[in-house]
Structure formats: C-alpha cells, structure tokens
Structure 1
Amino acid sequence: MKVVFLLTPHLHLLDLAGPAQVFSTAAEFGYPYELFYVAEREEVPTAQGLGLRASTMWPELAAEDLIMVPGSGQPTLATGPRPRGSTLDRLVAHHAAGGSVASVCSGADVLGQACLLDGRRCTTHHGLQDELARRYPRARVERDVLFVLDERVVTSAGIASGIDLALHLLATRHGPAAAARVARDMVVYARRTGDESQNSAMLRHRWHLRDAVHRAQDQIDTHYAQPLRLTELAAVTGVSERTLTRQFVESTGLTPLRYQQMLRVEHAEHMISHGETVEAAAHAVGFADARMLRRLRARAPLTAEK
C-alpha cells in the first residue's frame, strides 16, 4: 500500500509526522507500506519554520493506496493553501478509481476544494468547523469527533488526531492487534475511536508517566460501559488495589470509578447531542437506568477531585 502525503505550504509538522510515524512504524514491523511525499514545489515551508523537500512527481497509484493531506498553520481556511487544479484533479481521479483520500485538521479544506466533501460527512479542528460548514454548505460537518469516514473520504480533527486516524486505518486493514503494536511502540497508550470528543477525559487525564495507571485507563477506556471491579483493574496493571487507587488519584485527580463515570457521561452526552434519548444513551453507556445519568449530568463537571 502506498501512502502519499500531499504537502502544502506552511503545513503543521505534527499533522504530517504523526500519521507518517504510524505507517513507517508499521512498515518496520513488516506490514506492506511505502511512503511518498509530493508537493507542487520541491521546497515546502512549514508552520514551525522547518523547511521540507518533496518530490514533484506522483507515484503510480492503485485502488488500495491512500492520499493524505496534512493541515496548514494558517489561522483560517480562507488564508490556507490553494492547490492547482491539476493537483485537485489527481485527488478526484484517485477517489473515482476506488482509492481513499484523507485529511488532517485544515487539510479538509483541500478536499473541499476538490468537491470531495459534497454530500459527505466530514470533520476538522473544532476551531475551524464553522468556517468549513460555511465554505462547503453541501458537506455535513460532524462536530467534536476525532475522525469521520464516508465513502473512502476520511477527515480528522486537529494535530494529534491524525495519529488516531492512521491507527484506525491500520486496524481496519490488518486488525486491532497490529494497531495496538504500533501504538505501544509509539508510546500512545490509548487508541481513540472516531467518536471520541476532541476535548475528552482521555486527553485531559493522560499527562502522567505511571505505566500502571495508563494500563488501567486503557482497560477503562475500552470497557467503560461494562462493570469493572477494582480487583480486575489491579490484576491488569500488576499492582495491588490499594497501590492502584493511590497512584490513579495522584496521577489523574480521580478515582478509577470517577474516571469511568466521566467517560460514560461524555459518551452519553455525545449520543444525546446526536438525537438519542437520555434513556437510550444511559443504557448504551452502561447505566442500569437513566436516573444515575441525570444525576451525574446535573452535577458540576466531573473534573479532578481536590
């Protein structure tokens, strides 16, 4: 599988480096990926000031290949890159031939210029969603999600979400174990799904270095809708229940139960915002009935406990 990164002027380095690291790490593990970097000019300035060199020649592409467009560092989509018509035609032709096209952050605007967002669900960085919706009224902009897939047009939110998108594509093609292996090698402890909030507990409570707590969070993140006993979490992490509780609170400001409740409420809020009833959302995220969900939603935000 060829992965072609279309580099536009003043791109964000992490928009490019995150997905590129996923696919290059997968290639190191023996998965069949070949990476290419193309641009309209050989010299490509970045938003961070580091110049890049790219090829102006496109490789021959097949239906199983992927073109990915990293976002730019411009403050608005209106001031972002304007690729030539011939470049946009390549995106359209690849998609029409059965290939996939993807974007990170404001790279969605390039797909919009190619009319690939028309009639499709898409997303971008939360700070650019309103502008994307105005610029492309035929697109259906999904708000506060990490990535969206619609008919081989794949869009993701800002910056680090490109890693989540690339891991998802890897899991789709080679299975979740392959994605987990790459994620672990990159020290990405949790592979987030597309419907996670762009400002979720999975981000707010991962700024620590305790591996046992990360393993417990991985377990809760994956099985948040299921009953999880402290004894089970301790067994997964390899420490005692008392040690896990102490380290969890010191690292996140929350108990494991409180962290699980936070995830349930966030997932329920997302479902409710997309038209589900409170009762249906409560059952879907693991509450026995809607009363507990209503109580937790009525409380102050489930932030770190002092």
Structure 2
Amino acid sequence: MTRVVFLLVPGVHLLDLSGPAQVFSSAADLGLGVELSYVAEAATVPSAQGLVVHADPALPELSTEDLIIVPGWRAAKLATSGPLTEQALDWLRAHHHRGGTVASVCAGADALGRAGLLDGRRCTTHHDLQDELESRYPNACVVRDVLYTVDDRVVTSAGIASGIDLALHLVTLRHGPSAAARIARTMVVYARRNGDEHQASVLLKHRSHVNETVHRIQDVIETRMTDRLSLAELARLSGCSERTVTRLFSRATGMTPLRYQQALRLERAEHLIGHGATVESAARMVGFEDARMLRRLRAR
C-alpha cells in the first residue's frame, strides 16, 4: 500500500488539491494499492474558494514508497503567504532525505523551497509566481512556462489543473502508462501531457481581447484548423470586408488570421511529436500538405 499524503496550507486552492486527489483516488478504485490522507497544522483548513477542509493535525510516519504532495494556496506574494511551522518543513525534508518523493502544485513549490529541497534542482510553479520563486531560492533552477518538472524525487508543477498532469505522470512511473490512461479516460482529460508543454496555449494567449467579431473568426479557425481557409471566406463568415478582418484581427491578437492558424497548427504538431508522432505524420494531421512548412515554423 502506497500512502499519498496531502499537506494542506490555509488558503489552499481546491483544484490544486482535488485534481491530484481525484487521480490517486481513481488509482485506488483500480486496485493499485493507493491510500489517501490529508494532514495540516490544524484540524480545519479554509480554502481559497471558501470551503473548509478537514485534516489530521498529526504528521504521520512514512515509508520511502509514500508520497507527499503540497497543493498550492492563494498567494499574491509567496513571502507573505502559506504559513508552515518548522516541524512541518522538517517532516518534508526528512521524508525526502530518507528516499521518499515530495511534490507540489503551484505555490506549494515555496514549501519545498523553505525545506531546502529546491537548491540545485529544476523546479517550476505558476507563471505569475516564477519570478518570486527564482528570487527567493537563487540556488534553484526555475524552469519557466512548463507544466511540471522532476528532479531527484522532487516534483513540481505549474498552477491549478497542471496538478492533474503531475499526478498522472507519477501514476505512470509507478504503475505504467496503461493505468494512467485508464484514469485519464475516467476523468475525461488528456491521457498525459508532457511536462515541458507550455502553461499558456495559443488559444489562451490570444483570447484576452474583447472584440466579438475577432472571437467569431477565431472560433472558425479553431474549429477548422486543418482546412485551407481564405481571407475571403473568413470575411464572408464574419460579415466584414477582407481589409476589416485583417485590421481587427491584427489589432486584437497581434497577428494575421493566417499566422494565427499556423500557430495553432504548430502547437498541435508539437504536442503530437512530443507523444511519439514523426514530423511528417504530425504535419499531415494538423493540415500541412507536407513537413517542409512545419519544419520552417519550428525553426522560426
């Protein structure tokens, strides 16, 4: 039996906690010998979303097969949030020194840093907190804009939903990719995203504007990403002239509709290549006639 112990901090983000907890709970349902428990320095822990979580105030004795996960908490600044006593930090430190694995989601990386577990190791956190994490722990190697990192039994992930990717990766390491895929299907998520995939996708990065016409054009491009879409067709579908489409789209996103479609294709192709596809097959699957254009975009 492997114990997965969540160390909870006041202001814990519910999805930072519930995402990995769902993964390991599903592993238990599959009979993989997983037992979940929740500990904190008080019997009740207020979450960032208002729900109060109950936890065991006693820190358990663990074996090297057990796993500690520190979910993130609401933090405008790491330096003024996430209270943990030296006893809890000693517990984290001792578990790793004995050969155990420790993991964090989002701001939880700061707890590992306070325990001295980030020094000399690769780590990551939510993109809003990366600068502060780097300044607080100058001996750590903060890897920017990735989903998760693994370095000598210290596993850190970016914000919120990336904790699911981290947990699926840990299931894969211990129980194999088939088990992780079964859990992912149960949860209706990607089978497993690679740790070095970007935190902010093209979809999110260029959707922060408020122009409804451009949003409708983006909807068409995203739905028909593999099609050859002409500017004339986008103009017809949006009810604007070609010149207006180009002007509005460039002002809202910083690129032309064609460049946006290429960026979507490139991101999807990188995902496919990261999961074992060849450059040639990935190019065909995302709508390129051959791999030459994909190679040029990747080089650019």
* Fold match (TM-score > 0.5): yes
1:294 aligns with 2:299: no
For residue 284 of structure 1, report the CA deviation from its aligned partner: 11
- Per the alignment, residue 45 of structure 1 pairs with 46
- Per the alignment, residue 152 of structure 1 pairs with 153
Give, in whole Å, the separation in 2 of the partners of 1:122 and 1:250: 37
Give, in whole Å, the separation in 2 of the partners of 1:25 and 1:203: 29
- Aligned to 1:263, which of 253, 258, 268? 268
Give, in whole Å, the separation in 2 of the partners of 1:186 and 1:266: 20
CA-to-aligned-CA distance 1:202-255 (integer Å, 9 cap, x gap): 878xxxxxxxxxxxxxxxxxxxxxxxxxxxxxxxxxxxxxxxxxxxx8693343
SS of 1:116 mapped into structure 2 = coil
Instruction: Give the aligned residue type for 1:262.
Output: E
For residue 190 of structure 1, report the CA deviation from its aligned partner: 4.2
Give, in whole Å, the separation in 2 of the partners of 1:95 and 1:284: 43
- Per the alignment, residue 102 of structure 1 pairs with 103
Say what the alpha-carbon RMSD is for the aligned residues.
2.9
Give, in whole Å, the separation in 2 of the partners of 1:118 and 1:262: 32
Instruction: Give the structure-1-normalised TM-score.
Output: 0.72
Mean Cα deviation higher: 251-260 or 40-49: 251-260
- Which residues in structure 2 correspond to 1:87-126 (within 5 Å)? 87-126=88-127
1:25 aligns with 2:26: yes
Q: Check the 8 A contact 1:63/1:98 in 2, yes or no.
A: yes
Mean Cα deviation higher: 58-67 or 138-147: 58-67
1:78 aligns with 2:48: no
List, as ranges, runs of 4+ consecutive aligned residues in structure 1 with deviation greater than 4 Å.
201-204, 257-260, 265-268, 282-292, 295-298
For residue 265 of structure 1, report the CA deviation from its aligned partner: 5.9
Give, in whole Å, the separation in 1 of the partners of 2:76 and 2:129: 9
SS of 1:36 mapped into structure 2 = strand
CA-to-aligned-CA distance 1:145-199 (integer Å, 9 cap, x gap): 0000000000000000000000000011111110010011011134211011001
SS of 1:78 mapped into structure 2 = helix
For residue 63 of structure 1, report the CA deviation from its aligned partner: 0.4
Q: Check the 8 A contact 1:94/1:100 in 2, yes or no.
A: yes
Q: Check the 8 A contact 2:272/2:282 in 1, yes or no.
A: no
Q: Check the 8 A contact 2:147/2:194 in 1, yes or no.
A: yes
Residues 263/90 of structure 1: CA separation in 2 closer, same or farther (3 Å cut): same
- Per the alignment, residue 209 of structure 2 pairs with none
For residue 67 of structure 1, report the CA deviation from its aligned partner: 0.4
CA-to-aligned-CA distance 1:102-132 (integer Å, 9 cap, x gap): 0000000010000100010000001110110
Q: Check the 8 A contact 1:200/1:266 in 2, yes or no.
A: no
- Per the alignment, residue 55 of structure 2 pairs with 54
Mean Cα deviation higher: 91-100 or 188-197: 188-197
Question: Percent identity at matched positions?
Answer: 55
Residues 286/188 of structure 1: CA separation in 2 closer, same or farther (3 Å cut): closer
Give, in whole Å, the separation in 1 of the partners of 2:190 and 2:60: 34
Q: Check the 8 A contact 1:13/1:46 in 2, yes or no.
A: yes
Query: Unpaired segments of 5 or more residues in structure 1?
Result: 205-248, 271-281, 299-306
Larger radius of gyration: 2
Give, in whole Å, the separation in 2 of the partners of 1:254 and 1:13: 35
